[in-house]
Amino acid sequence: MRGPRSIGLFLPPLLGGVLCIVIIAVVLLRLFGVIFFWASTSTWAVVPALVIVAMLFVAGLAQSPRRYLVSVLAICYLCSIYFDGWPSVTARIAEGGSAWLEVTEAVVVGIFLLLNLVGDGRMSDHTKQRKETSHD
């Protein structure tokens, strides 16, 4: 029975590492596109990368201010989709392209939104439960 428990303890750090790699790639790709194609892109194009980075810094705050700031950041992200993302994505798909970067950004922002809005009590109860089961 030690096999499944050790896999359960190893999986969250692995997912966290994969998430970090995805975040770095998404932010760098977005910033690369904005820096080198600034004349042809909207000023809203940089907002998704800034929202992802800001959500990383907001995660260290207390629960109440974190919820407000994450909500504001989510609204900024939705504004960037409305003003820049949606027309460019629909045009790219109509031409036969893909929207994998925008989908990946949306997933990362959604994950951070959920993680930052979850109460600290739930997170600590979950980690306490994992520690108790790992010592058995």
pLDDT tens for the chain, 136 residues: list them: 444 444 455 447 777 777 778 888 888 888 887 777 766 667 777 888 888 888 888 877 888 888 889 999 999 999 888 887 777 778 778 888 777 878 888 888 888 888 888 765 555 444 555 555 555 5
Q: What angle do CA 122, 59, 100 make, to 5 degrees?
A: 100
Contact indicator for 84, 55 with CB cutoff of 8 Å = no
